[in-house]
Amino acid sequence: MHLAVGVVTYHNEIQELARFCKAFEIAVQKMPPHHSVALIWIDNGHPQKPCTPLSQWIPQAVCLPSEGNVGYTRSINRIMRQAFEKLGVDAFVSANPDGAFHHLTLENFIRHHLSHPTALLEAKQFPEEHPKVFDPQTLETPWSSGCCLFIPKLLYKTIGPLDDQFFMYMEDVDFSWRTRAMGFPVKLCPDALYAHAVVNRSVNEVSIHQHYLSARYLGWKWGHRRFFRWAEKTLLKKKGFTRQTLPELPKQRPSFSWKQKRVTCFGKVFSFGERRW
C-alpha cells in the first residue's frame, strides 16, 4: 500500500517539528517493507521562505509552495490533491505537526483499513483522549478529529475534499458528517495512537473567533437555523464583529435530505455528539 502523510505548519516550534519528524521516521521504519509512505507539507506561515524546516530532517519530503496563511483546510486540500492525483496513493493521513505518531500507528491504520476499506479512520489521541463517544464493539464514532485522520482513496473520490469554506476548525466534523450521510462508516482506531497534548493550552481570541465563524458556517451549511443564529449572534454581540465584517456566505446552500441531516448533532454545542466525560 502506498500512503501519503500531509502536514500544514504555521509558526510551529522547531522542537515540535523535530519530534514530529523523528516519530514519523520511526513509524515508517516499523512498517512492512511492501508499504511505502510519502511526506508532503506546506508552511502557511512564511510564503517567501524556502522549504527547509521539515526537509532538514526528512530530505525526501515533498514541499509545496506556500500561499501564505490561506487557512488550514485549503492547504491540506492542496496536499491531498497532490497525494491522490499526482502521486496516486491508496490512502492519505492528515497529521497535526504539534503531535507525534506512535511507532505502530501507520501499520495499525493499514490493518484497520484492510478490515474496513471504505471507513474514515481516526487515530486515538494520547495522553488525553478525545472525550466524544465511540462504540467499543464496532468502533463507530459520530465524527473523526482531523488531528490524525486516515482517508482512503475511494472515500476521497466519492466524498470529495474537505470544505475549504472552513478556514480552520470543524472541517473534520463536516467531512465526517458527509461521510456518514453517504453511507460510509466513521471509526476510531484504538491502537493507532497519536500523541497530542491539549490540556492546559492557552486559548487566544483569534482561535475563539475562528471557532464561532466555523460554527456559523457549519450551521448554515447543514440548515440548522438555531445553531447558525446562536453562532452569528455571539460573533456580533460578544466578539466584535459587525454585519459588514462577517464573512460572506456562499450564494447556494448544499442540498441535504432529511435522512442525511440525521447524522448531525447540534445540541451539544462544540462537542457535536455525546461525550464519555
* pLDDT over threshold 90, residue 202: no
* pLDDT over threshold 90, residue 195: yes
Which pLDDT does position 204 carry in this prediction? 85
d(CA 241, CA 54): 37
Which pLDDT does position 87 carry in this prediction? 97
pLDDT digits (tens, 9 = 90+) for 69-124: 999 999 999 999 999 999 999 999 999 999 999 999 999 999 999 999 999 999 99
> So what's the architecture of 2-195 in CATH?
Alpha-Beta Complex (3.90)
pTM (two decimals): 0.96
Which pLDDT does position 55 carry in this prediction? 84
pLDDT digits (tens, 9 = 90+) for 226-262: 999 999 999 999 999 999 999 999 999 999 999 999 9
Question: Which has the closest alpha carbon to 12: 38, 50, 44?
Answer: 44
d(CA 48, CA 167): 21
In degrees, to the nearest 5, what angle opens at C-alpha 158 toward C-alphas 91 and 10? Answer: 55
pLDDT digits (tens, 9 = 90+) for 153-172: 999 999 999 999 999 999 99
Q: Which residue has the cell 496516486?
A: 88
Which pLDDT does position 69 carry in this prediction? 94
pLDDT confidence tier of residue 46, bands split at 50, 70 and 90: confident
Which pLDDT does position 200 carry in this prediction? 65
Average pLDDT over residues 180-205: 89
* pLDDT over threshold 80, residue 199: no
| CATH 3.90.550.60 domain extents, the chain | 2-195
Which pLDDT does position 53 carry in this prediction? 78
Give yes or no for a contact between 141 and 135, defined as CB atoms under 8 angstroms apart: yes
How many C-beta neighbours within 10 Å does residue 52 have? 10
pLDDT confidence tier of residue 50, bands split at 50, 70 and 90: low
Which pLDDT does position 103 carry in this prediction? 97
pLDDT digits (tens, 9 = 90+) for 181-193: 999 999 999 999 9
